[in-house]
Structure 1
């Protein structure tokens, strides 16, 4: 059984999942402010939040500091599972393609297809957690509910709100990791001290912390700008309904479809509305992605060594069982 496991993919997945936990926790207050800001539709310039700092000030003025972390447990669970599934699928499918094609490296087109396929696998597994975390973040400060209560509020199918857009947004990590991988290969090729030997398999080549952070920031910026209108529509669809007894119109209810979200944005905010919160999204996602990739690169060697030790332990255990 130990021989059958894809240890390299498992190493990639574990490193990515650990990086996701650290980056998500470190930047969560910013993520909460960003999500609440994106979810609000300003009618003809009138809205609760004029900018991202207004969301932060609301939490501070109401002394709801802990509410900036509402939904953190769910978000961490979603981040860990999604990154584990994504990196495992991405690594496995990439090597499967190389094995079948006989090529030495994955081209840009093939890399996009592989990354998109890995993204689809991830979305199908983690969509309910993604929906729940968005609703918890966009709930009024201090009124966020637990994971099970959030998911059980409506019909079970509502846990998959925004699934269509999430599938569309698999283009985001596909673009991000394709750009990152292409840049990474160029950087590693230029490192004169990287010598290919027979022992390279025991310790995969990795970027320096600064290089990984920089390339992660560049790749995520490109992906975010290209897919942002869909990102905002997804947040609006998954957000909690506005609880305001004085408002019974359509503004108090979130749109249910991408067309509904696009129509609401166009009607109330015009063309600039499709990019409302883009700067906050870039700051948060770039920092998060760059931090994730930096951590992943730096712990990949340690994770690889740990996986080799685990593999030897499992093999030894299997031999002992067979001997008896």
Structure 2
């Protein structure tokens, strides 16, 4: 059995990093998602600021509800990052082997990242939809994963898939920028140390910069996706057909424009940047520091399972 252990190590370390960063920042993610999902109705807003979501949870003694859907989110995050990093690492290595190049260019990197992101979106879309619905439910009224996925039709579980595919440009931009910045940062170190690697602080900074760029460029689509996937209110549940019609991409775009104007497309941008930058920076920092350990563990497992020897990797 021929196993690509190098890609497996990349995928595993990326998934573990995603799991830890998601758990640490989950309350912020819940507040951010509920704030983004709210559409202004008749000039009234339930949440004027991101902090209003937190204050509501405290006032209703539902602070623990800030963690509603955490299990689903972690499952979705772990699977998506594993699939993404495995696909990205595998496609990148295959490209280098086929082309004979020693490094990968920006265009090729974008295409590879987009391909890996598209595969990830299709595989994890039902979990992504479920986690968004659980987060945007009223505090204390979130339903379980199975109930959330089965309360509608099968197609409902793939709400927002088209936007998710469009948003594959987000991680594509992020990891391309990070990879290019990382290569430049390591150039000076390689002359002094053949085993040079990024420090935790440098990985954090580069991760923050790369994610900020990607988030600003794709934010209007991000907010549309949150609104489409958000949980229905009790009033809306009595008007499912109307609600479904309102949650098409064109209807959401028009609704935001009509109720909030052009600035509505960027409502919650600061919160999105804060959360995603911290999350991605933590993810890449953790991944960078545990990748060598993950590789050693996988080699140990390979030896135990008597798998064929992989290509030697310089740590």
When normalised by structure 2's length, the TM-score is 0.93
Q: Deviations over 1:272-294 (max 9, x none)?
A: 00000000000000000000000
Question: Secondary structure of 2:306's partner?
Answer: helix
Q: Distance in 2 between matches of 1:194 and 1:119?
A: 35
CA shift in 2, pair 1:120/1:316, >3 Å: closer
Q: Distance in 2 between matches of 1:87 and 1:276?
A: 30
CA RMSD, aligned part only? 2.1
Q: In the alignment, which residue of structure 2 is the partner of 1:90?
A: 88
Q: In the alignment, which residue of structure 2 is the partner of 1:67?
A: 65
Q: In the alignment, which residue of structure 2 is the partner of 1:313?
A: 304
Bigger CA drift: 30-39 or 301-310? Answer: 301-310
Question: Secondary structure of 1:191's partner?
Answer: helix
Q: In the alignment, which residue of structure 2 is the partner of 1:322?
A: none
Q: Distance in 2 between matches of 1:280 and 1:80?
A: 23
Q: Distance in 2 between matches of 1:165 and 1:5?
A: 33
- How far off is 1:123 after superposition? 0.5
Gaps of 5+ in 2: 310-315
Are 1:138 and 1:239, in contact at CA under 8 Å, matched by a contact in 2? yes
- How far off is 1:25 after superposition? 0.4
Q: Distance in 2 between matches of 1:170 and 1:317?
A: 34
Q: Deviations over 1:97-153 (max 9, x none)?
A: 101111110100000000000001101110000000000000000000000000001
Are 1:241 and 1:254, in contact at CA under 8 Å, matched by a contact in 2? no
Gaps of 5+ in 1: 319-324
- How far off is 1:206 after superposition? 2.9
CA shift in 2, pair 1:106/1:41, >3 Å: same
Task: Verify: 1:37 aligned to 2:28, yes or no.
Answer: no
When normalised by structure 1's length, the TM-score is 0.91
Q: Distance in 1 between matches of 2:87 and 2:20?
A: 21
Task: Please list every run of at least 4 consecutive aligned residues from structure 1 whose deviation after the TM superposition is greater than 3 angstroms.
Answer: 192-196, 247-255
Task: Verify: 1:133 aligned to 2:164, yes or no.
Answer: no
